[in-house]
Amino acid sequence: MQLQVSLTTDEIARRSIVDPVVHKQCSDESMKRVMELCVRCVSEDPSERPSVEDALWNLQFAAQVQNSWGGDSIDTTRESTASPAQ
């Protein structure tokens, strides 16, 4: 799977498989987190797939990373009601 291979290489490899509109506005850390989640979601082994709560936590974390990056066009004045614990 190309997505899984891109995760083990570098930022350039990851960005090469993402829509150009997305990769220009997305931090590498946020994009990597979402890609890792995608790989886990399509795992052939059901026990490797994340729960809905785990998927939501990872998406919220990726959004927080993105918002703190400062290169996004998302409205950062709205605050999330739930923050992931580490």
Query: Per residue in 11-36, pLDDT tens?
Result: 777 777 888 888 788 888 888 898 88
Range of the domain at 63: 2-69
For residues 43 and 8, give the distance between their C-alpha atoms in angstroms, rounded to a whole number.
Answer: 16
Report the chain's mean pLDDT, rounded to a whole number. Answer: 77
The pTM (predicted TM-score) of the whole model is: 0.66
- In this structure, is residue 81 part of a structural domain? no
Query: Per residue in 32-73, pLDDT tens?
Result: 898 889 889 999 999 999 999 999 999 999 999 999 876 544
- In this structure, is residue 62 part of a structural domain? yes
Give the closest residue to 42 by CA, choosing from 85, 84, 82, 7.
7
- In this structure, is residue 12 part of a structural domain? yes
Task: Count structural domains, the chain.
Answer: 1
